[in-house]
Amino acid sequence: MTKEEILAKILEVGIMPGIRTSSAEDGRFAADAIAQGGIPIVEITMTVPKAIEVISDMAKNDPKVIVGAGTVLDLETARRCLDVGACFLTSPGLDVRVVEFAVRERVLMIAGAMTPSEVIQAWKAGSELVKVFPCAPIGGPAYMKALKGPFPQVPLMAAGGVNQETAAEFIYAGAAALGIGGRLIPKTALEQRQAGKISELARRFLRIVQTARNKPARRK
């Protein structure tokens, strides 16, 4: 898939599952359960043990799932992730060199940003989707709405603290997608290998996003 096709799929689905588990086995289990729930996209963060191996394994053996690398903090890591088949790169913050590298390699980049200045830098450097992180602690949906005012042309993804109670509000506020981690992949579900629970949470978040997109934002 081209980076344009991958971006289109992420925007269509509206959810970016962030896998941040304590073992490679847990990461693979979570990714499979999420895909069964209808979300064919996963971000394997570099904090997962043997994350590069997990990405490589999924890229080779799970062609229906778009697998990307998360928490990419430097050029060396970015190169290693692409070498094993990562379809996109994401970061919790902004390193313009990594963004420019992704642009040169024609790979989708989702750079992190918190301030308006960082949003401008990320967008100008070539980040096709900008991840506002950590979104909940710095103002939640109200902050997302404030950012969309001057940046209507920039697709923004809300990440960091998004849950079932706030997901719709972030969509109403203008978020093009939601980055969701622990609220989609509960620790107990991993420990007890409850794939069905994770799949159901994936379906639930999908419904929330779809419903919110089909309803006008509530006035406050």
pLDDT digits (tens, 9 = 90+) for 106-122: 999 999 999 999 999 99
Give me the CATH number covering residue 185: 3.20.20.70
Q: CB-hemisphere CA count at 13 Å for 169? A: 17
Domain holding 200, by residue range, is 3-210
Of 139, 214, 208, 213, nearest in space to 167 by CA: 208
Residue 219 has pLDDT above 60, yes or no: no
Q: Compute φ and ψ for 82, nearest 5 degrees.
A: -70, -35
> What's the domain count of the chain?
1
pLDDT digits (tens, 9 = 90+) for 8-51: 999 999 999 999 999 989 999 999 999 999 999 999 999 999 99
Give the pTM: 0.93
Structural domain contains residue 183: yes
| 156 within a domain of the structure (yes/no) | yes
Q: Is residue 220 part of a domain?
A: no
Distance separating alpha carbons of residues 52 and 82, to the nearest angstrom: 10
pLDDT in tens, 123-178: 999 999 999 999 999 999 999 999 999 999 999 999 999 999 999 999 999 999 99
| C-alpha torsion angle, residues 216, 148, 133, 128 (rounded to 10) | 100
pLDDT the model gives residue 87? 97
Domain annotation covers residue 63: yes
In a domain, 100, yes or no: yes
Percent of the chain clearing pLDDT 90 (strictly above): 93
What pLDDT is stored for residue 121 in this prediction?
A: 98
**Residue 82 domain-assigned (yes or no):** yes
CA 143 to chain centre: 18
Distance from C-alpha of 181 to C-alpha of 71, rounded to nearest angstrom: 13
Residue 66 resides in a domain: yes
Asked if residue 11 belongs to a domain, the reply is yes
SS3 103: helix
